[in-house]
Amino acid sequence: MFNYTCLNPIAGVGLDLFSDDYKKVDDLAGADAALVRSAAMHDLDLPDSLLAVARAGAGVNNIPLDKCADKGIVVFNTPGANANGVKELVFAGMLYASRDIVGGIDWCLANQNDDNIAKTAEKQKKNFAGTEISGKKLGVIGLGAIGVLVANAATHMGMEVYGYDPYISVNAAWNLSRSVKHISNVEDIYKECDYITIHVPLLDSTRKMIDANAIAMMKPTAIVLNFARDLLVDEEAMVDALAAGKIKKYVSDFPNTTTVGAKGCIVTPHLGASTAESEDNCAIMAVREIRDYMENGNITHSVNYPDCNMGACTTAGRVAILHKNVKGMIGQYTTVLGEADINVSDMTNKAKGDYAYALIDVDSQITDDVLKKLQAIDDVLRVRLVK
Ligand SMILES: NC(=O)C1=CN([C@@H]2O[C@H](COP(=O)(O)OP(=O)(O)OC[C@H]3O[C@@H](n4cnc5c(N)ncnc54)[C@H](O)[C@@H]3O)[C@@H](O)[C@H]2O)C=CC1
Ligand SMILES: O=C(O)CCC(=O)C(=O)O
């Protein structure tokens, strides 16, 4: 029996995929697995029972990845599962920034008791007029799951699309429309584009990526869209530029005291992934990842351990070993198993950065004594008997 907990509401269609071997518990203490969306986990005590965290979403900046890895906790995310939801909101953001749609709606509400509203509206509508996105230049920074969808859809909306991503994956490159112009210097996007949208993860290397210098290069008519994370943009500099009329609008999905209410800012309450479809997709993928890890030891879409898949175990036993990515580990495991007269029938060892993962199938039962000896090896972070 495994215990799991949800640190945020997770769609039922996903949780329904847990079998009777899984029990939902209220507290992280005692849980084997946790599902999370945006809840901040950095200050949480991570119990020794915790084996896996699944982020039902893309961004993992709310999770202490290295702390989890050091405790032998595998962190998963659900790449692409909410990308379409975000893409659609990015287009809404572009349209909201292009005409004063919100101002127009507010005007209608304020004049709802005016019997003459239809006639007055015809006089007032010039105050809310704007421009079209067709024919304009869009710069997409970050061509992952979301960036590719935004870039491709924009080409169909008649936009001239520039794409920048020095680390683009082969898969994303295959999916990117050939109409998207590849940009190798992001400054070309800052200088040339009418709309600039950022879709990169929040990392030390991307924090405040759109800084005062970048903003200074932009056209006075530029519209910047941020549906990724607020800390990717120097928002103080952004608000100053908007106030000085140096750029036109900043659309953000991350409310804070700097941007909400500031001139030229259009802010939504982190709604990018808040669609029934995205929530369902993320929950389903997250639960499948957790189940495959708990039941088979397989890792798919981890952000702190390597992916590793040996299918279902068909031998007498399977042990999973989470360890530091240092030399000499495998020899020590096979020595312990050999001394216990246990034959290895299959094994895989994969590494990702400082961490590595070994899955070992054996022909006879693994005793507690053997597990203790494996656990006692230096640089082993966790040993788990899968079967
Ligand atoms: N507003 C919302 O509700 C949501 C926000 N997000 C945010 O959007 C981000 C992107 O999501 P996905 O597209 O699904 O992630 P992804 O991992 O598929 O794509 C990220 C892309 O950014 C690229 N990248 C990394 N560093 C870069 C740099 N310095 N310059 C240019 N490109 C760089 C990567 O190569 C990758 O292709 C997430 O990390 C998350 O923070 C994601 C989903 C929902
Ligand atoms: O779960 C959510 O609503 C947040 C989505 C998000 O920001 C992400 O997936 O990175």
Q: What is the pLDDT of residues 307-329, one digit of tens each?
A: 999 999 999 999 999 999 999 99
Query: What tokens appear for 104 in the block?
Result: 């127009």
Do 86-267 and 311-376 come out as alike in CATH topology? Answer: no
Residues (pLDDT < 70) of the chain are none
Residue 7 Cα, ligand 2 centroid: separation in angstroms? 13
The SS3 of residue 227 is coil
Q: Which residues line ligand 1 (CB under 6 A)?
A: 57-59, 79, 82-83, 86, 141-147, 164-169, 172, 199-202, 205-206, 227-229, 253, 270, 272-273
Residue 225 Cα, ligand 2 centroid: separation in angstroms? 16
Residue 209's CB is within 10 A of a number of other CB atoms, namely: 19
Which atom of ligand 2 lies nearest, measured to the CA of 77? 9
Q: Does domain 86-267 have CATH number 3.40.50.720?
A: yes
Residue 79 Cα, ligand 1 centroid: separation in angstroms? 10
ipTM above 0.90, yes or no: yes
Residue 183 Cα, ligand 1 centroid: separation in angstroms? 17
Predicted local confidence at residue 177, as pLDDT: 98
What CA–CA distance (Å, rounded) separates 122 from 116?
10
What CA–CA distance (Å, rounded) separates 104 from 117?
12
| Among the bound ligands, the one closest to the CA of 9 | 2
Please list, in sequence order, all residues whose beta carbon lies within 8 angstroms of the beta carbon of residue 47, skipping any fewer than 6 positions away: 28, 29, 30, 31
Query: What tokens appear for 322 in the block?
Result: 């989470």
Q: What is the pLDDT of residues 59-112, one digit of tens each?
A: 999 999 999 999 999 999 999 999 999 999 999 999 999 999 999 999 999 999
Which atom of ligand 1 lies nearest, measured to the CA of 278? 44
From the options 3.40.50.720, 3.40.605.10, 3.30.460.90, 3.40.50.11030, give the CATH code of 1-82+273-305.
Answer: 3.40.50.720
Q: Is 59 in the pocket of ligand 2 (CB under 6 A)?
A: yes
Predicted local confidence at residue 198, as pLDDT: 98
Backbone φ, ψ for residue 146 (5° rounding): -80, -50
Residue 147 Cα, ligand 1 centroid: separation in angstroms? 7
The SS3 of residue 178 is coil
Q: Give, in words, the CATH class of 311-376.
A: alpha beta
Q: Is 82 in the pocket of ligand 2 (CB under 6 A)?
A: yes
Please list, in sequence order, all residues whose beta carbon lies within 8 angstroms of the beta carbon of residue 54, skipping any fewer than 6 positions away: 33, 34, 35, 36, 75, 76, 77, 78, 286, 287, 289, 290
Q: Sheet containing 317-324: which strands, arranged edge to edge? A: 344-352, 355-362, 317-324, 380-385
Please list, in sequence order, all residues whose beta carbon lies within 8 angstroms of the beta carbon of residue 57, skipping any fewer than 6 positions away: 37, 38, 77, 78, 81, 82, 273, 282
* CA distance readout (Å), 185 to 166, 300, 318: 9, 33, 49
Nearest CA to ligand 1 atom 35: 167
Sketch the domain layout of the chain as residue ranges. Answer: 1-82+273-305, 86-267, 311-376
Which atom of ligand 1 lies nearest, measured to the CA of 57? 43
